[in-house]
Amino acid sequence: MAHFLTDTTFAGGLTIPDYINHAGDSGTKFGFSANDTFVVRTGGSTRLTVADAASTFSGDVQAAGLYVGAINTSFDFYNNGTSYFNGTVEVDDSLRQTGGAASSFSGDLTV
């Protein structure tokens, strides 16, 4: 096993067989679980999978102005800006707008 004490620069590519592990934390690593698949694991569970066909996450995802939460099989979506959806959007319970901005819809809308 190589151990580098300072920053290291590689002139070419770096090839790893599967994962890069966090020293002293066996439950945290990232790497390649299969061809064309990149995963991030924390706490011993896969939290993010990026594959050539699809990407998945486990738990909550947050970014500036956006929150997507996954609890069991339901998802909560909060956005502090403009949202664009390409395709069908189904609302199981209610659709509520707060604040003074106007809402607009194009195409068919069934209430």
* CA end-to-end distance (rounded Å), the chain: 63
Say what the pLDDT of residue 2 is: 79
Q: Enter the pTM of the model.
A: 0.53
Of the candidates 13, 15, 43, the one whose C-alpha atom is nearest the C-alpha of residue 29 is: 43
Say what the pLDDT of residue 70 is: 58
Contact yes or no for 28/21 (Cβ under 8 A):
yes
pLDDT tens per residue across all 111 residues of the chain: 778 889 988 898 888 889 999 989 989 999 999 999 999 999 998 888 888 887 777 766 666 656 666 554 555 666 666 666 666 777 777 777 777 677 777 777 766
